[in-house]
Amino acid sequence: MKNRRVGTISMAIVLIGFGILIFIAQINELSAAELAIKFWPSILVLLGGEILWFSFKEKRENEGIIIRYDVFSVFIVMIILFVNILIYGLVETGVMTVIKSRVASQTFNYELPFEEYSVEDGIEKIIIDGPRYSEFTVRTSKSNKITTSGFINITTDNKENAEKLLNENHISINKSGNIMYITFKDKSDYYQYNLRDLNIIIPDNKEVEINGGNDLDLIVDSLDNNLIVDNINRLKIRINEKLNVKVETTANNEEELRGNVKWNTTQIGSENFPKYKGELIYGDGNNILKILNCYDIAVDGI
């Protein structure tokens, strides 16, 4: 009586077939993962065919054959199949591209192009959505233009991809009705980059809102309208003391109000949860600089 192992021939055929499948997928730019998922039931057909073949051979030769299953071969075939499907799935979903870019990455430093935008007379308000991860500087000016400049650090796998990313629009200025919006691009799909030393010069005669951001240096050389700063982690203001400006803010404690100026503070709120209102008045105080939801405030007068 002879022993026959089922699975060895199937494993050999699967390895050859799967290699051909990958080769065809690469040449024709097809999805190897999708092809493998469609054709994996052929493994069951091969195993079943191998069993039938040995059973038929037993009857034909009239020999007693004990069919044993090569569990190891079947297990290895399944492992190879699913590992290859996993790898190609990672490639096609872009995960392998991200991993490759991280392993072979290097940092390139560039200066952002100097941009200048004219502000029409009909524009009444400028809204700046601050960058989430970068320090930036905003300066007021008598000019009727918005100017932007800065630097960018790009971490990617080669210089070509870095220059391609550099050519994207990292600072956007758009108009809707009588409002201009300044926004920053903070994220890339595959590559890391961060903006630094950002400088924005804005007209002093437009109402301005600065919303969000990590660190902001606000240089108030001139001001002929109201200005609001909201939700900044660290705020440093340099203000011209010859202006007609009133600075208003609230803080959880007086120690949060810093700088070389003398704050006029008033306790507000309840005794258990006190807050402090801080004010600075220069000249007639006709223009309001209001600070909201900022946690580290320093004002220096010059």
Q: Each residue of 186-204: pLDDT tens digit?
A: 665 555 778 889 999 999 9
**In terms of residue numbers, what domain contains 132?**
118-148+171-184+195-301
Would 226 be classed as within a structural domain?
A: yes
Tell me, yes or no, whether 233 and 86 share the same domain. no
Would 153 be classed as within a structural domain?
A: no
Tell me, what's the pLDDT at 58?
Answer: 60
Would 74 be classed as within a structural domain?
A: yes
Report which of 214, 224, 234 is spatially closest to residue 291, judged by C-alpha positions: 234
Average pLDDT over residues 49-63: 64
Tell me, yes or no, whether 58 and 129 share the same domain. no
State the Cα–Cα distance between residues 148 and 33, nearest whole angstrom.
46
Tell me, yes or no, whether 136 and 215 share the same domain. yes
Would 33 be classed as within a structural domain?
A: yes
Q: Above 70 in pLDDT, residue 38?
A: no
Tell me, what's the pLDDT at 272?
Answer: 78
Would 249 be classed as within a structural domain?
A: yes
Assign residue 212 a region (left: φ > 0; alpha: ψ between -120 and 50; beta: otherwise).
left
Tell me, yes or no, whether 175 and 74 share the same domain. no
Could you identify the residue written with the tokens 């007209």?
203
- Residues near 10 by beta carbon (within 8 Å), at least 6 away in sequence: 43, 46, 47, 50, 73, 74, 77
Which of 282 and 133 is assigned the larger pLDDT?
282
Please state the domain count of the chain: 2
- Residue 27: CB atoms within 10 A of its CB come to 8
Q: Is 227:288 a contact under the CB 8 Å cutoff?
A: yes
Q: Is 117:145 a contact under the CB 8 Å cutoff?
A: yes
Tell me, yes or no, whether 28 and 77 share the same domain. yes
Tell me, what's the pLDDT at 182?
Answer: 95
Report which DSSP code applies to 178: T
Average pLDDT over residues 121-126: 94
- Residue 7: CB atoms within 10 A of its CB come to 22
Would 101 be classed as within a structural domain?
A: no
Would 225 be classed as within a structural domain?
A: yes
Would 210 be classed as within a structural domain?
A: yes
Read off the pTM: 0.66
Tell me, yes or no, whether 66 and 142 share the same domain. no
Tell me, yes or no, whether 128 and 51 share the same domain. no
Tell me, yes or no, whether 80 and 211 share the same domain. no
